[in-house]
Amino acid sequence: MSQHAATVSMNEPASKPATRAGQVLSDLWQVIAGFKARIALALACLIVAKIAVVSVPLVFKRIVDELSRPEHVMALPAALLVGYALLRFSSTLFNELRDLVFSRVTQHTVASYALHTFSHLHALSARFHAQRRIGGLLPDIDRGTNGIAFLLGVGLFTLVPTVLEIAMVIGIMTSRYSPWYTGILAVTFIIYCGFTVLFTTRRTVFQRRVNRLDSNAKSLLADSLINYDTVKYFTNEQLEANRFSHIMEHWAEAAVSNQKALFSLHVGQSAIIAMGVASVMLLAGQGVMTSQMSVGDLVLINAYVIQVCLPLNALGFVYREAKDALVNAEKLFQLLREKPEIEESPSLPALRVAAGEVVFDNVSFGYEPGRTILHDVSFRIAPGTTVAVVGGSGSGKSTLARLLLRFYDVGGGRISVDGQDIRGVSTRSLREAIGVVPQETLLFNDTIAYNIGYGRAGATMEDIVAAAKAAHIHELIDSLPQKYETPVGERGVKMSGGEKQRIALARAILKNPPLLIFDEATSALDSHSERAIQAELDQLSQNRTALVIAHRLSTVVNANEILVFERGRIIERGTHAALLERGGPYASLWQMQLNGEENADPPRAAHLA
């Protein structure tokens, strides 16, 4: 992302929430609805705890009144003192029981959303993943799950008990004392709530900006680290630091603005509460001075005013944090509402592969409207044969593989396997029938055994070793100190290109599919490594239907048919010998590559360590 692009994204107006609070809460309820018994028990504990809290000042008033008139005291009010202590203990006990009972609901819900998001991301289309920024996606998910945890935990069990406690206190005050007390508390409550809602809504704009800039910073950080080698090639460490600094300066300014808004909110809330408390206590002090109330009444009113105002402050905190949590969860719920480009019915039948014939019938396709990549492409791969596709960059070769794997649906025409339109069978069964050896093999940051075994879930160690031997990489692995438990590093950085290709080959061998795709599987290798791996690819494709996408023509001379692509159209087809004899574009390309063979790289030694 350029500095200009970063500046534009920073200065743009905050977007409206993609998901309304009602939708978020509705989705949450659908998840927690299975825990109704636990929710009911937690609420029961909450109510008991609040009854105990509200009862404490009443007992304390009795104690003060009893002890303030010693001439009437025949014995120490031990029962009241013990009851006072038990009520305080009961409040803490039932609050902790509430949290304990509800913790399973909260943790299950957070885990459920995390799993749902993980599965949903894998279900989204290749187009989505081609456009997404992983560095910005992860913090959105992290903030979203934290927001959900808050809404379920602190939000629910602070909001409900606070409202309950305020209602109980006001009810007691109304029944025992002048309505002026209730009026003052009601006015304080109304002013406090209005102020909190207004200023919290204003602050939400700053919170969204902080989140957006944080995601931008994480995206840039991840992108820069992923391209670590490129940064070093061009000695652009300072350029990367400047780009990151530029975003972080805007983030810091947004965070300060957010804190200023929070300061105004906190100070205003405290001032409103202070005025309410002062008004009530002045009225209560006057009542004691005129002997209309006892000292115990003053203590009770003071306790209840504090008991109302502190929860009122907590209510403001919860409202503010709940708004932040909803803002944080917006991106997550927006992501979960992202529809897969290809939505298939779960009732679709599985692909039945008999002979393994693949047919492209008048296939047209474009990644974007108005930009067609393939134009009415038709060809057939007979069972057990190999068809190679060659052509210049951007001619549409790799698009054929993506369409056969149904990463995208064709714009026109059809693709069939053994007469079955691939749109009419389950995508899972289609991909299970196809083995892929890609141009760039990206490995999991795990062991060699894990990466080979990924080709077939549940494969035994014997199966993995057999596949490695077939791919002629067993000897190298066996020479390593940790053998098959050797870590390969992030994206396989500890392995050479040839070694990673052999891992990909071993995975395909382990999968043992009836259909194969070789997508420029040797284009990144030197001539020596290419010849070694090409022999193994030829062996793997024997008696299997194979689509070979190649840049180097030397890798396709044995193909049963070669298709020459140019700008999304087949301009030549035939065997290697027939195309050379014809003297067309293929023959010209062959001659050019043949003349360049003398510049081929020397063999490279394996460097896995």
pLDDT digits (tens, 9 = 90+) for 195-214: 877 887 777 777 778 877 88
Is residue 572 domain-resident?
A: yes
Is residue 13 domain-resident?
A: no
Q: How many CB atoms are closer than 10 A to CB 51?
A: 16
Q: Does the pLDDT value for residue 240 go beyond 90?
A: no
Q: Are residues 382 and 277 in the same domain?
A: no
CA angle 409-411-415, nearest 5°?
A: 60
Give residue 155's pLDDT.
58
Q: Does the pLDDT value for residue 1 go beyond 70?
A: no
Is residue 609 domain-resident?
A: no
Q: Are residues 280 and 401 in the same domain?
A: no
Q: Are residues 298 and 416 in the same domain?
A: no
Name the percent of the chain lying above pLDDT 90.
11
Is residue 342 domain-resident?
A: no
Give the three-state DSSP class for 293. coil
Q: Which of 512, 535, 557 is the last residue of a domain?
A: 512
pLDDT band with cut points at 50, 70 and 90 for residue 236: confident
Q: Are residues 375 and 259 in the same domain?
A: no
Q: Are residues 318 and 428 in the same domain?
A: no
User: CATH no. for residue 506?
Assistant: 3.40.50.300
Q: Does the pLDDT value for residue 8 go beyond 50?
A: no
> Is residue 296 within 8 Å of residue 65, measured between CB atoms?
yes
Q: Does the pLDDT value for residue 166 go beyond 50?
A: yes
Q: Are residues 523 and 481 in the same domain?
A: no
Give residue 600's pLDDT.
45
CA angle 407-411-415, nearest 5°?
A: 65
pTM, 2 dp:
0.62
Give residue 147's pLDDT.
77
Q: How many CB atoms are closer than 10 A to CB 413?
A: 17
pLDDT band with cut points at 50, 70 and 90 for residue 267: confident
Strands 545-549 and 386-391: parallel
pLDDT band with cut points at 50, 70 and 90 for residue 313: low
Q: With b meaning 16 or more CB within 10 Å and e meaning fewer, what string describes 209-227? A: bbbbbbbbbbbbbbbbeee
Strands 561-566 and 545-549: unpaired
Q: Is 328 exposed, middle or buried (0-12, 13-18, 19+ CB in 10 A)?
A: buried
Q: Are residues 378 and 323 in the same domain?
A: no
Give the three-state DSSP class for 609. coil
Give the domain range for residue 488. 442-512
Give residue 607's pLDDT.
38
Q: Express each pLDDT in 485-500 by its tens digit.
A: 988 887 777 887 778 8
Task: Give 324's DSSP letter.
Answer: H
> How far is residue 478's CA from residue 475's CA, in Å, rounded to a whole number?
5
Q: Are residues 263 and 222 in the same domain?
A: yes
Q: Are residues 375 and 464 in the same domain?
A: no
Length of the chain: 609
Angle between helix 497-511 and 527-540 (nearest 10) = 0
Q: Are residues 427 and 446 in the same domain?
A: no
Look at the chain and report how many structural domains it folds into. 3
Is residue 378 domain-resident?
A: yes
Q: Are residues 491 and 558 in the same domain?
A: no
Give residue 437's pLDDT.
85
Q: Which of 488, 512, 536 is the last residue of a domain?
A: 512
The residue with greater pLDDT, 196 or 428, is 428
Give residue 606's pLDDT.
37
Q: Are residues 428 and 447 in the same domain?
A: no
> How far is residue 421's CA from residue 410's CA, in Å, rounded to a whole number?
11
Q: Where are the beta strands (DSSP E) in 8-166?
A: none
> Is residue 608 within 8 Å of residue 495, measured between CB atoms?
yes
Of the ranges 120-124, 153-157, 173-177, 276-280, which one carries the lowest mean pLDDT score? 153-157
Angle between helix 134-150 and 179-226 (nearest 10) = 160
Torsion of CA 420, 426, 428, 431, to 10 degrees: 20
Give residue 33's pLDDT.
67
Q: Which of 305, 336, 367 is the last residue of a domain?
A: 336
